[in-house]
Structure 1
């Protein structure tokens, strides 16, 4: 009688325990999914918009009626527009592939929802930047993002050229190292190692201790000093962009002058040939 009762209750208790564990696992998995989705929505698709934050801080400090303040605010607004253009390019590149991955079931819909929310927020941000630009200069709201797009593309081309030059230099360095190895010469120290151990670096005080001290001094600056530092950096960036634009315009003008001179000389040669006939 006792063995029969045990034989009856043992599978019942076993199945009940398995069912409880399975129910607990499902509850935990759903709770974890809800937390992940909430965290995804709270975190956002892009990092915080630091350029917008800097512009809002400078707008509270300076007035557009002041010429220096107007120049500083316009520079900060252009930097904000550059960030917006980069994010637009980023969304255009990733939206279609991400949609395809979601349709295949490879990726969940959480990331796509974040991208769609970021796209809507970015549209509001673009409208706000256009309104601010129109306030500083009539008609600038229609052209600020065109200017920012050209600057982003130019920066991307310069970055691509820099990477290509670095790769070419690395290939040449490897070729020289292989040639030295075939000739039986000992490998020379790299430029970075010689710079780290050179007397110039020691004399200049480029040590980890000095770098830590400089970082500590940066973190200990006041809020007013930080905002002023940001303003100075924006002005320096604007001067660099102006020099680049002037250099590009000079090259274009030189090409136009050369082209006009060539066409003029060709025209003179043609007229002389007609006279000879």
Structure 2
């Protein structure tokens, strides 16, 4: 059973679908290009990679103008430069891992914009490419060195951090030692002043305690001694006997 299809009636809906799909595709491509341009114009998460630039300059060193051959850079120096590059990569990986949780939580709360998150994601991608490049360069310089280069770099980074902490502790210890010496001298001066003040107080107290005793002794010497004649003990025994005889007569 055949149906007659009205192509003229379907032409308008088909044209609408084609125009709608084309506009959506154009909008998506323009939006992606604009986002890519905006992300490219954003400031990088990290600063310039100095260790990578040094390694590349040593690896691709060209002869100077007027000289036929340039001195070849020893392989040991190139390996050391690549190892320093890996150490810097370790520091940056640690920074990314510590900042990822904070950035994601701040983005969920709305405290930061999408620009910061785009910068962070671009830094992650750049670090992934950097790690692959370092492994490839290590394997090119020495067989199977790419498997252990980051282990060595991690040990070097940990040793460097430990030395920095020890230097900070020593500097802080010297500062605290100077502060303690000054504090000790001040405490000693305050203690001596307190001792002098206590001695002066004791001397004043002794002087005030001695003054009343001296005045009391002087007053006791000047005052006359009073004798009560009414008491029996005050009259002598001889006079009492004479008085009794006179009374009998």
TM-score range, shorter chain: 0.5 to 0.7
Which of 76, 83, 86 is the matching residue for 2:91? 86
Where do 1:1-277 residues align within 5 Å?
38=38, 41-61=41-61, 69-184=74-189
Q: Which structure would you say has the larger RCO, counting Cα contacts within 8 Å and 6 or more residues apart?
A: 1
Q: After TM superposition, give the deviation of residue 71 of structure 1 in Å.
A: 1.1
Q: How many residues of Structure 1 are paired with residues of Structure 2 in the alignment? A: 148
Q: 1:51 to 1:108 in 2, by over 3 A?
A: same
Q: After TM superposition, give the deviation of residue 38 of structure 1 in Å.
A: 3.9
CA RMSD of aligned residues (A): 2.6
Q: Work out the CA distance in 2 between the residues paired with 1:75 and 1:59.
A: 12
Q: Work out the CA distance in 2 between the residues paired with 1:67 and 1:180.
A: 63
TM-score when scaled to structure 2? 0.54
Instruction: Identify unmatched segments of 5+ residues in structure 1.
Output: 1-33, 186-277
More helix by share: 1
Q: Work out the CA distance in 2 between the residues paired with 1:59 and 1:156.
A: 28
Contact 1:86 1:152 in 2 (8 A): yes
Q: Work out the CA distance in 1 between the residues paired with 2:72 and 2:143.
A: 16
Q: After TM superposition, give the deviation of residue 68 of structure 1 in Å.
A: 5.3
TM-score when scaled to structure 1? 0.49
- Which piece of structure 1 moves more, 117-126 or 157-166? 157-166
- Secondary structure at the counterpart of residue 106 of structure 1: coil
- Secondary structure at the counterpart of residue 148 of structure 2: helix
Instruction: Identify unmatched segments of 5+ residues in structure 2.
Output: 1-33, 63-70, 191-249
Larger Rg: 2
